[in-house]
C-alpha cells in the first residue's frame, strides 16, 4: 500500500505513539522477532511513511514485557550475534484483539465524518 501522505509530510507524534502498541502486537502475532526487524517491518507495512527509531521502539517493547504482553529471550542471529527476541504471550494476543476492536471503532467513526480523505481511504482497504 502506498502512503497517502504528501511528500515531506510526517505523521504526528501523538498518532505514532497511539499506534505503537497495536502495531508491535500485530507484528509479533506474525511470529517471534527482534527490534531492528520490527522497525523494518513497520517501515515496510507503512510504505515508508512510518520510520521508527530504537529510542521509540524499545520503551514500547519494555512496557509490553513488563505488562506480560510479550516475552523476551536472548538468542543468536545467523551470524552468531546475540539478539533479544520478542514473542506475543496469550495475554498479548488478548490485548491485540482488544486493540483491534478499539481501532475498528476509531476507523468507523472517522469514515462516518464528512472528511473526504477517510472515504477515499475506505475504498482502498
pLDDT at 1 (0 to 100): 45
**Mean per-residue pLDDT of the chain:** 88
The DSSP annotation for the chain comes to ----SPTTPPPPHHHHHHHHHHHHHHHHHT--EEHHHHHHHHHHHTTTS----HHHHHHHHHHHHHTTSEEEEEEE-TTS-EEEEEEE-HHHHHHHHHHHHHHHHHHHHHHTSS-HHHHHHHHH-
Task: Give domain status of residue 2, yes or no.
Answer: no
Task: Give domain status of residue 75, yes or no.
Answer: yes
Predicted confidence band of residue 34 (pLDDT cuts 50, 70, 90): very high
Domains held by the chain: number: 1
pLDDT at 52 (0 to 100): 93
Task: Give domain status of residue 8, yes or no.
Answer: no
Across residues 63-77, what is the average pLDDT?
96
Task: Give domain status of residue 72, yes or no.
Answer: yes
- Domain of residue 119 covers 13-124
pLDDT at 63 (0 to 100): 98
**CATH, residue 18:** 1.10.10.10
Task: Give domain status of residue 1, yes or no.
Answer: no
Task: Give domain status of residue 66, yes or no.
Answer: yes
Task: Give domain status of residue 113, yes or no.
Answer: yes
Task: Give domain status of residue 4, yes or no.
Answer: no
Amino acid at each position: 500500500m502506498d502512503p497517502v501522505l504528501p511528500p515531506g509530510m510526517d505523521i504526528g507524534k501523538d498518532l505514532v505513539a497511539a499506534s505503537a502498541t497495536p502495531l508491535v502486537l500485530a507484528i509479533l502475532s506474525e511470529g517471534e522477532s527482534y527490534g531492528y526487524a520490527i522497525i523494518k517491518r513497520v517501515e515496510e507495512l507503512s510504505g515508508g511513511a512510518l520510520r521508527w527509531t530504537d529510542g521509540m521502539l524499545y520503551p514500547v517493547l519494555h512496557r509490553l514485557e513488563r505488562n506480560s504482553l510479550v516475552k523476551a529471550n536472548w538468542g543468536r542471529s545467523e551470524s552468531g550475534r546475540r539478539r533479544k527476541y520478542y514473542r506475543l504471550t496469550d495475554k498479548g494476543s488478548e490485548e491485540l484483539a482488544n486493540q483491534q476492536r478499539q481501532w475498528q471503532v476509531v476507523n468507523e467513526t472517522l469514515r462516518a465524518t464528512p472528511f473526504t480523505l477517510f472515504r477515499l481511504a475506505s475504498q482502498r482497504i
